[in-house]
Amino acid sequence: MNLDPELSNPFEIIVGTYEQYLLGYKVHSVVNEYNIEKSFATHSHVASIRSISSNKYYLASAGADETVCLYDMRYRRESVKLMHHKDTINCVAFTPEGSHLFTCSSDGSISAVRCGNWQLDKLWSTAHKGSAVNTFTIHPTGKLALSTGEDGVLRTWNLIKGRQAYATNLVPKLKSDAKLITIIKWSPSGKKYLLAINVNIYVYSVETASIDKELTFDSKVICVEFLKDTLIAIGFENGEIKFCDLRTSVHTMNTKAHSMRVKCIAHMNDLLVSASSSGEIKLWKYNKHSLDMLQTVNCGARITCLSLAQTYKDLVQQEEVKLEEDKEVKKKSQLRLKQEVIIENEGEWEVTNVTNSKEKTSKIKRKRKRAIEDNVQNLKKKIPESKKTNASKRKKDRLSQTEDAINKPMKQQKLLKANFPSKKRKENNAASQITSPIKKMKKMDKLEESSLSHKKHKVKLPMTDIEDAPPRKIKKKVNAEQKIVPKRKKKKINK
């Protein structure tokens, strides 16, 4: 992994383990002396971590729990979890520009996820005809990618069009080993790529689309890293690290780096980082013919994968510092500063600096209140009684005006109801107008009869018309002496 030289100091070594932990170590340099200190540890996964990748402030880790965990290194926290695969995720890789994240899984799928919103842009569900996808690597331009799987085919992907460009069958050349390829690397220029399996490394040329170099070793190859277009670093199962020149196929350097197998290698400028299955992490300074150890750390876990990340300032700490500074500024602004009080004496102005103490301010306020009260009392005394009475009358007039303003709309509503009766009232009025002369004659006759026959008793006539009024039930009045005996029903006698 190549990082920008401006951001290379300090940097972070990030390691994934079989014990499901993701560990971070920060590398500091002071006058060519390097120190390694632990920066973070997370336990976001439920199974072993298989692959790590970083770009800018993004960090992605994936493993046997079928999930991809994404971290924001600015805030030092987990941001998203992706769970679109159905089996172990073998590889994760960011594009050079950091626009997309590609993942491949044992379920036979390859996915492209957009960085930022983390939405699934593309999913090749049967990338290798349903067989497991072991590795995936992206060209330095970000336009091409290579993948291998258990079908023994090397597939080239056009990432611009989002489809497969061509496929090459590796079985005739590698036989059964073609299904177990787990190492593919692009050269920094993108003109070459290599495949590693068992004790062999095959270097391909993009121009000729064929094998350019074939290297064989005594021990099994576990990891490979391009240091330059013509120089590679190889980690072996016996714990050795070798440098090999691709032009001459000569081993330029060979050292016993670890007691156990070298699981992964990464480099940055003239520094090389190697990690062993025993948990050792070593920082080296290298050139073509030598490898000098600078620092070593043991994480106490079995390391599976490694990545180098750029360090960004912790924005959470920056925000806390800003908040503290704002609080201090507010406290300072709350402190009362000296004020200039101008005192007038016989046409001359004198300026004196007076500290804004509580005693002096309270005295000034009291004097002002007293002066205001005295002015109000003097004004009351000067006002004559006639004006006071006129003021009371004005108040009453205003109250009456407000009452009229409130009552006016109520009166208007009543007038409207009287002038514009409802439909039922209109119908009743129309019927009454038709039969009004007959009804009036009947009413007059009945009044005369009642006045003659019942002079002693006062009778209240109903207000409604006689014809329209409903029939009333007349109750018989009975004296206390009289008794009403119910009529007995006659029994029928059977003859």
Domain ranges of the chain: 5-316, 375-417
CA dihedral 259, 261, 266, 270 (to 10 degrees): 40
Reported as a pLDDT band with limits 50, 70 and 90, residue 378 is confident
Reported as a pLDDT band with limits 50, 70 and 90, residue 351 is very low
| Least confident residue range of 214-223, 225-234, 282-291, 361-370 | 361-370
Backbone angles phi, psi at 399, to 5 degrees: -65, -45
Is 11:309 a contact under the CB 8 Å cutoff? yes
CATH number for the domain formed by residue range(s) 5-316: 2.130.10.10
R_g of the chain, CA atoms, integer Å: 51
Neighbouring-strand partners of residue 102: 93, 112
Is 94:115 a contact under the CB 8 Å cutoff? yes
**Pairing of the two strands 210-216 and 221-226:** unpaired
What pLDDT score was predicted for residue 341?
43
* DSSP symbol at 243: E
What pLDDT score was predicted for residue 411?
61
Mean pLDDT of the chain: 79
Q: Is the pLDDT of residue 211 over 70?
A: yes
Distance CA 380, CA 384 (A): 9
First to last CA, the chain: 130
Q: Is the pTM of this model over 0.75?
A: no
- Taking alpha carbons only, the member of 228, 294, 224 closest to residue 265 is 224
Looking at per-residue confidence, does 449 or 132 come out higher?
132
For 134, what's the count of Cα atoms within 13 Å in the CB-facing half-sphere? 19
